[in-house]
Structure 1
Amino acid sequence: MAAVMVWLPWSLLLLSFMCGTRAFYVPGVAPINFHQNDPVEIKAVKLTSSRTQLPYEYYSLPLCQPLKITYKAENRGEVLRGDRIVNTPFQVLMNSEKKCEVLCSESNKPVTLSVKESRLMAELITEDYYVHLIADNLPLELYSNCDGDDKKEEKDVQFEHGYWLGFMEVNKIYLHNHLSFILYYHREDLEEDQEHTYRVVRFEVIPQSIRLEDLKTDEKSSCTLPEGTKSSPQEIDPTKENQLFFTYSVHWEESDIKWASRWDTYLTMSDVQIHWFSIINSVVVVFFLSGILSMIIIRTLRKDIANYNKEDDIEDTMEESGWKLAHGDVFRPPQYPMILSSLLGSGIQLFCMILIVICEWAWCGRLSPEQHGLSLREG
């Protein structure tokens, strides 16, 4: 009782500093305000596929590179995810349109892919690899029905992370060599005497495959896209060298989405690729093995109980066999107690940390999607 009275004042003092709060998602980084024609840097993250678990670095492919390649400092979570965030040669200015620009082309000469590079490019296309880019820390998203149809209501719109590196048709491989970037900005409300600032709230892309002969270029590294459906896709033949242009365009649109709500689209994506086959297969195997093990244990216990109930077979019941021989091993110390305790303690710690991250951080909205790899780092 005396101990309780000693700790009671300190407990009341600690409780006096507590206050009730209500919160869900707090962005992990401060917003960046852009002025007219300010550069908006587009960075590459990695290449991933739903068919394989091997990510590729962006410049492991023969893609256009800037004059100086600079990699972003990454946290432990990003390293575990396989992210290699690096700058790209795309030149994007805030609220500045670009109809068609040519990348990494000297004197309007097309890029030549060697046989080895063409083979690697074709291999990744056949394995359904996605290219992941970010702008203002916002991942690139691909509207899943980029076929000219009007978008449905916002709640019905589906997006995919990144864009397809290419596609296959009639046993031929085609590369998406033109990217139409669509960036959405939100104009901040300021006083009349202040200059308006903009914030990036969405980053979309429409990939296209355009044949070399259908592109018209000039000396200013600009190009003219073919009209309508007059162009043919750019084929990649893995058995020979291929020539092509890498091009891009930039389109800006104003949006009513505020900066604090720009992640709502990503957090409500309904088309995120889930390995349902692996999950169902694992669940079926677990239940099947659990059922077999339960049947064996029940059968053994019934047999043992029946033997114990026989009064005329006392001598047989005294003889222990099978799993009953180990009933006294609980009092026998293990051969390597430190290793056992270390493994057991580490396992309990990992389990508790994963449980805390999932329940407290993820479900309560305390994991910020702005900070890539935060969930792995916190775990």
Structure 2
Amino acid sequence: MHSDVRRSAVLCTLLALTQAFYIPGFSIKSYRDGETIPLLVNKVYSDNSELQYAFTELPFVCPPTGRIRTGRFTSGASISLNLGEVLRGDRITVSDYELVMGTDEEARYLCSHTMDEEGLKRTKQLIRDGYMAEWIVDNLPGATSFQTLDKSRKYYAAGFKIGEEVVSLHGGESEFFLNNHVTLVIRYHGAPGKDGAQGKKVIVGFEVFPKSISAGNRTEDGLPVNIQDASVGLALVPGSNSTNENDEVDRVALTIPYTYSVYFREEPKLEWQNRWDMYFVAQDDSSNVHWLAIVNSLIISGLLSAVVAVILARTVRGDIKGYRDGGLEEIKARPRRTQGPKSPRGSGDKNGLLEQIGDLEGDGDMSSDEEMLDNITGWKLVHGDVFRPPAHGELLAPLVGSGTQLLFMATGLLILSAFGILNPSFRGGYISVGTGLFVAAGLFSGYFSSRVYKTFGGQEWQNNVFVTASLVPGLLFATVFVLNLFVWIQASSTAIPFGTLVGLVALWLFIQLPLVYIGGWYGYTIVGAWNHPIKANAIPRQIPVQSWYTKNFQAILLAGFVPFAVIFIELMFVFKSLWQDKTGYYYVFGFMGVVFVVLVVTIIEVTIVATYVQLCTENYHWWWQSFLVGGSSSMWIFAYLIWYFMTNLHITGFVSSLLFFCYGFLACAVYGLLTGTIGFLSAYAFVRRIYGAIKAD
């Protein structure tokens, strides 16, 4: 009871520490009154599509003029992006919107833009698909504000709608209205330290309220006579605001006037370091569900821990003790045979128990030892074959090496996230840092792959190094390259630029490949293979007929359900963040870290139990089986992904559906590779331990 209390206290302390180390940025930018604040436009995205588009390339957007200058920013200039931002489809450009700290603008004219008929069709399709725009001020995404259900708190949802579709109640065609006016509300707080003493301010909130206002009834400056009147919106109808009835071009085009309002409002209760909390209020409200997920995970892991404890502490240790106290003494008391061939099953154990078992199995006259052989069953009978190298070991070794690479990357990302180094303000940070960690972990990949390869008896370690460095990255790159062609045809910003593809190839060729080679050389030539306590027999043992639940596919499928049950509640939040919110701001690292640790423990325990059951049925082909059992929960996750697509998402279009399933499959495959490696290494340690204990006795 007291140990459970202590564990709970440690768990709560760790969760509190993850919150204490939350660092939402690396430097605070403060502004003085009258200083211009750049507004950056990024992209548009939708819950109904996997395709994103650069905001400045849309047909209804005014091209930037370059008239706004603030520091190093000039409107129309593109902001340099890191690798993660490029891969996630960001295309950030400085806009012509002029924001001056502390200066409110009730109405200001931006520009007028004329759209042709083709542009109108595309704009209607974007509105129909529910596209949202992402703007950025001081590294905060423009947000639509909402209130919690009890009206006690306000929270942000990143992005705002570009327009509205009004469905006719009488069965006619829908009407489309474009939001051509935005009200920008900048929330600020007094700057900390010396800047605050000088009257400077920091931005703690950025809200966008879009509105559609008709092009008619405007002043000479292009401003609406009544900015508050939005009863008549800007309908996307060709020639609806044309003034020249004889001009054919005006009748098929639409001129759109753009205006905006700016208001600065002080937010005294919100500190700069907590400004991202507004985007996670909705997640905080679901913290009870997160706790439910953790309790569910701990219960499942606890039950498995009890099963493993019984196997290790009672069954296996009891078998060994039984031979040590009873059977072994009886065997040693018998006179030794001086004639007759010795069974090859004892060849790996000259002086221990296994030689005696081998003698019994190789004796032609079994009548005097039938009672003893009744007790020599299960995993003890396959001692001479359990360390026999598996079929296709030259493929298993590179997979295990790549799995250790992914394990290092995932662990590094979790640690950096827990300490706040990776956070939403570090846009694209997960992909950028994850790529760097993956490349650096090439040392571990080559090391483990080469040691496993040599353990299997491999001789050509250079070929193994090349396969290890190329297999997983090559398949990933080839798949992404093919999918990128589909995205490129759609002119989406999600398409990876050719220069970035070349950079990724160079990263693999000049950094990862040498690191894998160095790790492989060290693991193969310096450290060498792992030693096994028992040598394999010359002739493989025949495997008896297996029960239905121990056959390969059934065992893998059943074993994979347990780790999936540990994480499926958290998966709901991850899927929602990726495909419904479209923000990727899944930022509950305390919960995620605990669930990840419990998941790893569960995979280890499930693999040990499955391996033990397999050996007890006299099936010694555990190498591949342990790898597949460890990664089998990925099949359940992919099945859950299909169910989520059919019941919760509204993705339409062939390309979007293709991207969803292909990238989902790749994510599940990478997860399966990581967890499969964990399963393989844990099963390997377990098998070496139990058979090493027998040999030692």
Taking structure 1 as the reference length, the TM-score comes to 0.68
CA displacement at 1:188 relative to structure 2: 3.2
CA displacement at 1:41 relative to structure 2: 0.5
Residue type at the aligned position of 2:207: E
CA displacement at 1:336 relative to structure 2: 8.2
Q: Deviations over 1:129-184 (max 9, x none)?
A: 11001101111110147xxxxx9322xx2322110111111211111110000001
Residue type at the aligned position of 2:223: C
Check if 1:377 corresponds to 2:420. no
Matches within 5 A, 1:113-262: 113-144=115-146, 152-154=151-153, 157-170=154-167, 171-188=174-191, 195-214=198-217, 216-219=218-221, 223-224=223-224, 226=226, 228-229=228-229, 231-237=231-237, 240-256=252-268, 257-262=270-275
Residue type at the aligned position of 2:201: Y
Residue type at the aligned position of 1:182: V
Of residues 39, 58, 62, the one that matches 1:64 is 62
Check if 1:347 corresponds to 2:403. yes
Distance, in Å, in 2 between the alignment partners of 1:193 and 1:207 is: 32
CA displacement at 1:267 relative to structure 2: 3.1
Matches within 5 A, 1:67-146: 67-68=65-66, 69-105=76-112, 111-144=113-146
The size of the alignment, in residue pairs, is 290
Distance, in Å, in 2 between the alignment partners of 1:52 and 1:118 is: 19
Residue type at the aligned position of 1:209: S
Between Structure 1 and Structure 2, whose CA radius of gyration is higher? 2
| Secondary structure at 2:122 match in 1 | helix
Q: Deviations over 1:324-347 (max 9, x none)?
A: xxxx8984665682x553343223
CA displacement at 1:363 relative to structure 2: 4.4
Alpha carbons of structure 1 residues 231 and 271: separation in structure 2 relative to 1, 3 Å: farther
2:356 aligned residue: none
RMSD: 3.3
CA displacement at 1:52 relative to structure 2: 0.8
Check conservation: 2:213, 2:229, Cα contact below 8 A: no
Distance, in Å, in 2 between the alignment partners of 1:84 and 1:238 is: 30
Distance, in Å, in 2 between the alignment partners of 1:167 and 1:271 is: 30
Distance, in Å, in 1 between the alignment partners of 2:114 and 2:195 is: 52
Distance, in Å, in 2 between the alignment partners of 1:119 and 1:193 is: 50
1:320 aligned residue: none
Distance, in Å, in 1 between the alignment partners of 2:405 and 2:31 is: 44
As a proportion of its length, which structure holds more helix?
A: 2
Distance, in Å, in 1 between the alignment partners of 2:228 and 2:104 is: 20
1:285 aligned residue: none
Check conservation: 1:47, 1:129, Cα contact below 8 A: yes
| Secondary structure at 2:410 match in 1 | helix
Check conservation: 1:133, 1:139, Cα contact below 8 A: yes
Q: Deviations over 1:61-117 (max 9, x none)?
A: 031222242111111111121111111110111011111112224xxxxx2111111
Distance, in Å, in 1 between the alignment partners of 2:18 and 2:422 is: 17
| Secondary structure at 1:52 match in 2 | coil
Alpha carbons of structure 1 residues 144 and 242: separation in structure 2 relative to 1, 3 Å: farther
Determine which structure has greater relative contact order: mean sequence separation of CA pairs < 8 Å that are 6+ residues apart, divided by chain length.
1
Check conservation: 1:158, 1:271, Cα contact below 8 A: no
| Secondary structure at 2:423 match in 1 | coil
CA displacement at 1:207 relative to structure 2: 0.5
Check conservation: 1:189, 1:196, Cα contact below 8 A: no
Distance, in Å, in 1 between the alignment partners of 2:284 and 2:87 is: 24
32-41 vs 228-237, which deviates more? 228-237
| Secondary structure at 2:78 match in 1 | coil
Taking structure 2 as the reference length, the TM-score comes to 0.38
Check conservation: 1:100, 1:225, Cα contact below 8 A: no
2:590 aligned residue: none
| Secondary structure at 1:202 match in 2 | strand
Check conservation: 2:181, 2:258, Cα contact below 8 A: yes
Alpha carbons of structure 1 residues 225 and 80: separation in structure 2 relative to 1, 3 Å: farther
1:35 aligned residue: 32
Distance, in Å, in 1 between the alignment partners of 2:95 and 2:89 is: 18
CA displacement at 1:225 relative to structure 2: 5.0
Residue type at the aligned position of 2:177: Y
Matches within 5 A, 1:224-303: 224=224, 226=226, 228-229=228-229, 231-237=231-237, 240-256=252-268, 257-270=270-283
| Secondary structure at 1:262 match in 2 | helix
Identity of aligned residues (%): 28
| Structure 2 stretches lacking a partner, 5+ long | 1-16, 67-75, 168-173, 240-251, 286-384, 435-697
Check conservation: 1:160, 1:271, Cα contact below 8 A: no
| Secondary structure at 1:120 match in 2 | helix
| Secondary structure at 2:96 match in 1 | coil
Check conservation: 2:31, 2:202, Cα contact below 8 A: yes
CA displacement at 1:271 relative to structure 2: 11
